[in-house]
Structure 1
Amino acid sequence: MSPRRLRVIARLDVKDAFLVKGIQYEGLRKLGDPHDFALRYYQQGIDELVYLDTVASLYNRSNLSGILERTTRDVFIPITAGGGVRSVEDMAALLRAGADKVAVNTAALHDPELLTRCARAFGRQCVVLSIQAKRCAGGWEAYYDNGREHSGRDVMEWAREGAERGAGEILLTSVDREGFQKGMDQDLIAAVTAQVEIPVIAAGGAQNAESLALAAENGADAVALGSALHYGKTSIPELKQALRNKGLEVRI
C-alpha cells in the first residue's frame, strides 16, 4: 500500500492590505504584508496558498485582486482566493487576478445554485466550497460571516449537496478550533470526508505534524495552517520532514 499523499497549505487571512490572525475569527491582529509571508512560505516549499478576505462579506466587496496580482509575480504554486464572492463575475475577477481556485461560502449558502453556475463557467476544479463548521447538538452546523451567523444547515448535508452541485473541493474549517493551535477537530474531518468523494482541505487548530498526520488518517487530502506558521511555531521544511517520518508522501 502506497503512503497517503498530503498537501500542506498556508492560509493567509487578509483585512485591507494586511495579513491578520485571530482566534475563532475574532480579535484580529495585524501581522504584516501578506505578500512577504506568501513569498517566504513559497520559498520554504509550501504546496499551495489560500487567501481569504476576512471582511469581504461584511462590506460586500473583495480586496484580493491587487494582492493576488502581486503575489503571482513571485509565487508559482496553486492559489485559492475567497471572500465576498457572490457571482460568476466575482469569481472571474479573482481568476483573472491570478487565483487558480475560488472559495465560496456565504453566497453559496444563500444560493446553492451559484456553485453549479461557477462550475459550468470555469470547471469544478476551480470551485472550492468553504464550510465554517461549529459543533451543535447532534453534529455540526455550517456558519458564515466568519463563524458568526447561523445558516441552519447541517454540515454533512451541506457538504454532500455542495459536491453534487459542482464544488470540486471543500475547505473545511472548525470554528471551534480556529486559531488555538491545540489540535484539529478530527471527528469533524472524518465525518465530512466520509460524506464526499471530492478532496477536503482541513483547517482550524493545526499546530504540528502530529495533527496533520491525524487529519490525513481521517481522510483529509490537505491541511491548511495559519497561526502555527505565522507565529513561527513550526516551519514548512520541519513539518514535511516530520510527515515523511510518519510515512506520509509530501512534495519535497
Structure 2
Amino acid sequence: MLAKRIIPCLDVKDGRVVKGVNFVNLRDAGDPVELASTYDREGADELVFLDISASVEGRATMIEVVQRTAGEITIPFTVGGGISHVDDMKRLLRAGADKIGINTAAVKNPSLVSDGARRFGSQCIVVAIDAKYNPEWGEWEVYTHGGRQPAGIRALQWARDVEAMGAGEILLTSMDADGTKDGFDVKLTGEVSRSVGIPVIASGGAGKIEHFHEVFRDAQADAALAATIFHYKEITIREVKDDLRKKGIEVR
C-alpha cells in the first residue's frame, strides 16, 4: 500500500491566498509564496495551488506567482485554474509546476484530458472534481467555474470517464463539506475511490486531526487535502502525520 499524503491547498485570488465556507465568504489567509515555503519546511508531501477566479474571469493562471512559488519549494506542486489549452499546461510546467489541475476546461472540452496525458504523461494530469449532492438524483453532481455552475454530470461517472481519458489522479472536493470543518465527505470519497483505479485526493471539510484518519480508514483516499486548519495554524502537518502513524496509517 502506498503511503498516504497530506497536501495543503492554496486557493489564490488576486494574488492572495483566500478561504471560505462552501466556496463563498472568502477571507484573506496570506501570501502564497510565503505559505508554500512554510508548508515545504513543515513536511507537506505536495502542494496544490488553485487560481480560483481564473476560469470565471476568463484569464490564464498567474504565471509569475507560480514561478515564484516553485522557486521556494522542493515538493511536488500542482497548479490549476484558467487552463483551457495544452499550451497553458506547457507554460505552467515550464514555470515550475509538476502537475496540472483541470476542472472547468475538462468538462467543457474532455479531449483536453487525453491530449494533456498524451503530451505530458498521465502523472501530470490531475482532474479536479467539485461535487455537490443532488437530492433529485440521489447522487453527486459536478460543478464548474469555481463551484458556481452545475454541469449536469454525475460525479461518479465523470470520475470513471476521466480515468479512461488518461487522468493520473482525481482531486475530489465535496462542496457540501468545504470549509465546514465537520469532516471529509467519507461517503462521496469512498464511492469515487471504489469506482476508479487512480489515486483520489479527498478535499473539503477537514477540521480535526481525527478527520484525516477517518477519510483514509473509511474512504480509502490516497491523499487528504486541507486549507483552513493549516493556514490558521489550528493543526500542523506534523501533528496530523504523528497521529496517523500512531493509528497505523503509513505516511511519508
Give the distance between the partners of 1:85 and 1:60, measured in 2 at CA.
10
User: Match of 1:32?
Assistant: 30
- Please, what is the CA RMSD of the aligned residues? 1.1
> Per the alignment, in what secondary structure is the counterpart of residue 183 of structure 1?
coil
Residue 234 of structure 2: aligned partner: 233
1:71 matched residue in structure 2: 69
Task: Say which is worse superposed, 127-136 or 24-33, in terms of deviation.
Answer: 24-33
Relative to the length of structure 2, the TM-score reads: 0.96
Structure 1 runs not aligned, ≥5 long: none
Confirm or deny: 8 A CA contact 2:199 2:222 kept in the other structure. yes
Q: What's 1:21 paired with? A: 19
Q: Distance in 1 between matches of 2:243 and 2:207?
A: 13
Question: What amino acid does structure 1 have at the position aligned with 2:193?
Answer: T
Report the alpha carbon displacement of residue 65 of structure 1 after superposing the two structures with TM.
Answer: 1.5
Preserved CA contact (<8 Å) 1:163 1:198: yes
Partner of 2:248: 247
Shift of 1:5: 2.0
TM superposition outliers: structure 1 runs of 4+ over 6 Å? none
Describe how 1:95-114 pairs up with structure 2 within 5 A.
Answer: 95-114=93-112
Aligned to 2:202: 202
C-alpha displacement of 1:67: 1.5
Instruction: Name which of structure 1's ranges 215-224 and 205-214 shifts more when overlaid on structure 2.
Output: 205-214
Whichever residue aligns with residue 150 of structure 1, its letter is P
Deviation for aligned residue 1:232 = 1.2
Distance of 2:195 and 2:61 partners within structure 1: 33
Q: Distance in 1 between matches of 2:146 and 2:70?
A: 26
How far apart, CA to CA, are the structure 1 residues paired with 2:66 and 2:105? 21
1:16-52 Cα distance to aligned partner (Å, 9 max, x none) = 2101111111111122211111111111101000000
Q: State TM-score, norm by structure 1.
A: 0.96
Query: Which residue matches 2:224?
Result: 223
- Residue 132 of structure 1 is matched in structure 2 by 130
Whether the aligned pair in 2 keeps the contact of 1:9 and 1:223 (CA below 8 Å) is: yes
The residue identity in structure 2 corresponding to 1:187 is K
Match of 1:193 in 2: 193
Q: What 5-or-longer segments of structure 2 have no aligned partner?
A: none
Deviations 1:79-100 (A, max 9, x none): 0000011010111111111110
DSSP 3-state at the match of 1:103: strand
Alpha-carbon offset, residue 207 of structure 1:
2.0
Alignment of 1:167 onto 2:167: yes
Residues 159-212 of structure 1, C-alpha deviations (whole Å, 9 max, x = no match): 000000010000000001111111111000100001100000000001233111
User: Shift of residue 240 of structure 1?
Assistant: 0.8
Alignment check: 8 A CA contact 1:208 1:239 kept: no
Tell me the secondary structure at the aligned position of residue 88 of structure 2.
Answer: helix
